[in-house]
Chain A
Amino acid sequence: MSSFKAAYHTLLAHWHMLTGYKLFWPVFMIAGLAFCVAVDTYGFMDLYLQLILIYVGINIILTVSLNLINGYMGEFSVGHAGFMAVGAYVASLLTVHSFPAGAQNMLFPLAILAGGLGAAFVGFLVAIPSFKTRGDYLAIVTLAFCMIVKSVLENIDAVGGPRGLLGMEKLTSLPWVFFWTALSVWVIRNLVYSNFRRGVLSIREDEIASDLMSVNTRQVKIIAFVVSSFFAGIAGGLFAHALQFINPRMFDILKSTDILIMVYLGGIASISGSIIGAVIYTILLEILRPLGVWRMVFMPLTLVLLMIYRPRGIMGMKEARLFTPLRDITTEKLWRQKKKEAPDASA
């Protein structure tokens, strides 16, 4: 046991040293992208394994973006699958019906972006009534939203009705997933380390006090919701072009539940937590696939245990140093230095 602990600590020390380098992120990004491109072009990785990695990426996007609402802001949205559906259908309709066959690969990012924008727009429409008043309307509104999306899609023949939409090329490749995952994590991290973060966190702590401290709470909530929906839409588009087939049932409340589990497993109000949660859950799901129906017993059980022993999730309210910008700390350090040099300059 103690040797295990010692090994853990050495590992942790190395990890801190590694992530302390300024070049860590650039190197990680380039290496990651290079690896993904290499896998994609030379195909030295099992296709099944590649698909799992693709799902990991998509789930990271979904988890990080939902955490903005359910974690940082402390509201409860169950509509993420609905926004994913909007993104999936918009992107698929574009690639199947609108884009010329030859240019699919080139126009793919546009389709994904359009899916995200579509979802963001729908998110905006949902956010306006939901945040008009204080209180717990969001859970109910998003639940209704999820059901409406599903039944609307089932009743439009042009998008395949209940049978769904077919004919997408397999455009979601590992490099694209890497790109979009990195982008969403980066953008949400930026948002989370700005005035905006303090806005959402203060809403979570005490909404009235937050408003009284000059935070435009309604605007903050709407922005958070729109950004969150945007990335759910992005994930939806990627999902559709990985599976090459979508139908309305895929985006029902169960899908939202999956994302909720990843958020609460990884930890609320934490980007590193969201990534950990998405990775563990996706891989666990694959490992447990042979168990068949028993998986449905195991998963909720994990969740119950988690809620008992770690109610805020693995990284709840904590952040790996890797994701916190150094600037904050530097500003404070400089301020303290200045104060030491001129003790009463600030008083």
Chain B
Amino acid sequence: MPLLEISKLTHRFAGLCAVSDFNFVIEPHELVGVIGPNGAGKTTVFNLITGVYRASVGSIKLKDQELVGKTPHQITSLGIARTFQNIRLFKELSVLDNVRIAHYGQIAYTPAEALLHIGRFRAEEKRITNRALDLLAIFKLDESANEKAKNLSYGLQRRLEIARALATEPALLLLDEPAAGMNPNEIIQLMEFIRWIRQTFSVTIILIEHQMRLVMGICERLVVLDFGATIAQGLPSEIQKNPKVMEAYLGVEVAS
């Protein structure tokens, strides 16, 4: 059974059709790339999947469960987590709290127990703190646990964002241009890192990338968007040879 099944997804912003008739299926444990030039609608697809925007037409199903109409926190709790193109950490909060916040949906105590610090409160807080620290340790961020997120270097902020997303225990991880602002060396490291994440956390990954060359290396399958339309889907080697893609996408890149 596919993990995620999107059919006929369409979304308009005041006349502009950002995504039109988008159809997409991903199986568990796949790593699929979504590419396309600026303004192609890639981020909008992520915003639709995660419930930030409500799709005007179409359906998004996670293991047969319809996501359209659900709120972002419901969708996250069902197992979809994401990072952002422009880092969106809770800047003024500590690194540890950034990760603990992402455990919100899993907390077992009620507001009343929190109000009086009774019942399951203490045990749960301890569990969450320990788990958050474990996760930070895996990402080698535990030494900065008490620093404000905004004081981390750019690279570490990106890493923290991924750690925070994984703290929600997702089945599907959506990465929006994780390589933005990185140099070629760092990008190679990042590719390794993404593979390793998929293995360690056994997550399925959809990766948005701007630069086609980068995703060629790690993605098993690619989807190419242009002006909201899906112009190609297939293996990286096929995409590379696709004349439509060359024209719409590579043409742009070669020219610039």
B-contacting residues of A (Cβ < 8 Å)? 187, 190-191, 193-196, 198-199, 201-202, 205-206, 208-218, 223, 227, 317, 325, 327-328, 331-332, 335, 339, 346-347
Contact = CB atoms under 8 A, between A and B. Distances in A.
A211 B71 contact: yes
Q: Which 9 A-B pairs have the closest CB atoms?
A: A214-B105, A194-B114, A205-B90, A211-B72, A214-B76, A209-B88, A213-B102, A198-B101, A215-B104
B180 to A, nearest CB: 17
Contact of B77 (A187, A208, A214, A227): A214
Contacts of B167: 213
A191 B115 contact: yes
22 contacts: A190-B115, A191-B115, A195-B103, A195-B104, A195-B125, A199-B101, A201-B93, A205-B93, A206-B88, A206-B90, A208-B88, A211-B71, A211-B72, A212-B81, A214-B103, A215-B104, A216-B71, A223-B111, A327-B125, A335-B130, A347-B137, A347-B138
Contacts, number: 121
Interface stretch (B2-10, B57-65, B116-124, B215-223): B116-124
Contacts of B168: 213-214
A199 B137 contact: no
Interface in B173-230: none
Contact of A317 (B92, B106, B137): B92
Nearest to B78: A214
Contacts of A335: 129-130, 133
Contacts of B126: 327, 331
Task: Tell me if B's interface is mostly helix, strand, loop or mixed.
Answer: helix
B162 to A, nearest CB: 13
Interface residues of B, number: 50
Contacts of A317: 92
Given A201-B90, A202-B90, A328-B129, A346 B138 contact: yes
B115 A208 contact: no
B104 A199 contact: yes
Contacts of A211: 71-73, 76
Given A205-B91, A331-B126, A195 B114 contact: yes
B52 interface: yes
A8 to B, nearest CB: 26
A285 B243 CA distance: 77
A39 to B, nearest CB: 29
Contacts of B107: 195
A221 to B, nearest CB: 12
Given A205-B93, A223-B111, 19 more contacts: A190-B116, A190-B117, A191-B114, A193-B117, A195-B104, A198-B97, A198-B100, A202-B90, A211-B76, A212-B52, A212-B81, A213-B101, A213-B165, A214-B102, A216-B71, A327-B126, A328-B129, A331-B129, A346-B138
A264 B28 CA distance: 51
A64 to B, nearest CB: 14
A251 to B, nearest CB: 26
Nearest to A211: B72
Contacts of A331: 125-126, 129-130
B82 interface: yes
B50 interface: yes
B84 interface: yes
Nearest to B170: A214
Contacts of A202: 90, 93, 101
B207 to A, nearest CB: 17
A202 to B, nearest CB: 5
Nearest to B77: A214
A335 B100 CA distance: 15
A97 to B, nearest CB: 31
B159 interface: no
B145 interface: yes
Nearest to B174: A212
B84 to A, nearest CB: 7
Contacts of A199: 101, 104
B129 A213 contact: no
Interface string B141-157: 01001000000000000
Contacts of A327: 122, 125-126
A223 B115 CA distance: 11
B42 interface: no
A328 B132 CA distance: 12
A227 B114 CA distance: 12
Given A195-B109, A214-B73, A214-B104, A187 B133 contact: no
Given A195-B104, A198-B97, A331-B126, A208 B72 contact: yes
A75 to B, nearest CB: 16
A302 to B, nearest CB: 26
Contacts of B115: 187, 190-191, 227
Contact of B90 (A209, A216, A328): A209
Nearest to B91: A205
A212 B73 contact: yes
B133 A332 contact: yes
B170 to A, nearest CB: 10
B238 interface: no
Contacts of A210: 90, 101
Given A206-B90, A327-B122, A215 B129 contact: no
